[in-house]
Amino acid sequence: MKRDPRLLGLSSQHHRALVLARALAQEPLDWSSEKGIAFGARFDAELEPHFLIEDEVLLPALRRAGATLLAERTETDHAFLRATMLAARNGEGMAARAFGERLGDHVRFEERELFPACEATLSDDVLDEVARRAPKES
């Protein structure tokens, strides 16, 4: 699927997120505090910045365009992922697994539903702001 170039920075991050999701969903239950700390640092560096661009730029614009259900689904996923990340960061292995499963679903939702809706409905100004804030495609 051809993606609007202004969303490629966010879209390109999805491959790494899917790799992480798969690894966490299969994580043995001997999760340790060291794994939790490393996972939390990775979340802070890779996923939270991605979520913030969506939360601060895409979702308000989608709401204004009438795509409330897409915005709400994204916000619900982000809230769940942030909460389970905190539990996993504190050593809860089941939270790490739940995070991995939900992250995989969330990435697929963004690629199949959220980003196509953004491309179809959002203004050039909004998409340009995403491109300014997102990392370059890798």
What is the C-alpha to C-alpha distance for residues 65 and 74, in angstroms, rounded to an integer? 15
Contact assessment for residue 3 and residue 11, using Cβ atoms and an 8 Å cutoff: yes
Provide the residue ranges of all domains of the chain, joining segments of one domain with +: 5-133
- pLDDT tens by residue, 66-104: 999 999 999 999 999 999 999 999 989 899 999 999 999
What is the C-alpha to C-alpha distance for residues 41 and 1, in angstroms, rounded to an integer? 32
User: pTM of the full predicted structure?
Assistant: 0.93
**Domain with residues 5-133, CATH architecture:** Up-down Bundle (1.20)
Percentage of the chain modeled with pLDDT above 90: 85
